[in-house]
């Protein structure tokens, strides 16, 4: 009996401890959006976001509140978000956020955020009302340090290979979005 207990402790406990470092959410209406907002509210230093589609008013407002608490927020979006009417990119720019847009030929289809280098939010869940209310989506919050380091490396790559927003803080284009996208230039304000 003692050998079985030792076996269980040595071989199964590490897996159980790792699994405890993951929170799982599903949508529609399964708490994904609230989980994202809760994580944003916990931020004290920085938030790095790589998001294909960000149109959630509630999440955008939580980001503004985090920034007002001196949390550094960096956001990389798919370049289509620069001109998408429902995108909150313009709202965030008006609140002083520095956004960058992916330059690649394919979609920047990532959906993740790193909070203070300690919590990783990822999954299929786009930060949109549709994802929250209608779509079948999933969201994971992971606290594993090695996994977070890999995502931090990827975020830094995306940040460094993306171009700044082509509008100034008032939403007026410095360079037309089509020009920057067509010629893959680092247009800056």
The residues annotated as belonging to the active site are: 109, 111, 116
* Token pair 């999440």: residue: 59
CA dist 93 and 41 (Å) reads 20
* Peptide bond connecting 28 to the previous residue in cis, omega within 30 degrees of 0: yes
Detail the DSSP E strand segments found in 130-171: 137-142, 163-164
Q: What is the dihedral of CA 110, 149, 161, 94, to 10 degrees?
A: 70
Question: Which ranges in 95-134 belong to alpha helices (H)?
Answer: 129-133
Structure tokens at 134: 């209608």
């Amino acid at each position: 009996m003692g050998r079985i207990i030792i076996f269980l402790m040595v071989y199964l406990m590490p897996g159980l401890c790792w699994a405890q470092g993951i929170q799982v959410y599903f949508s529609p209406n399964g708490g994904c959006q609230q989980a994202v907002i809760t994580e944003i509210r916990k931020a004290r230093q920085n938030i790095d976001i790589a998001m294909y589609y960000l149109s959630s008013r509630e999440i955008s407002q939580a980001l503004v509140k985090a920034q007002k608490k001196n949390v550094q927020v960096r956001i990389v979006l798919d370049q289509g978000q620069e001109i998408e009417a429902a995108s909150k990119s313009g709202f965030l720019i008006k609140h002083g956020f520095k956004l960058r847009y992916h330059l690649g030929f394919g979609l920047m289809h990532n959906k993740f955020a790193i909070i203070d280098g300690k919590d990783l939010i990822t999954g299929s869940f786009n930060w949109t009302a549709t994802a929250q209310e209608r779509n079948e989506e999933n969201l994971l919050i992971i606290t594993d340090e090695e996994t977070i380091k890999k995502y931090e490396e990827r975020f830094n790559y995306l940040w460094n290979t993306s171009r700044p927003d082509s509008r100034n803080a008032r939403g007026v284009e410095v360079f037309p979005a089509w020009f920057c996208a067509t010629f893959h230039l680092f247009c800056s304000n």
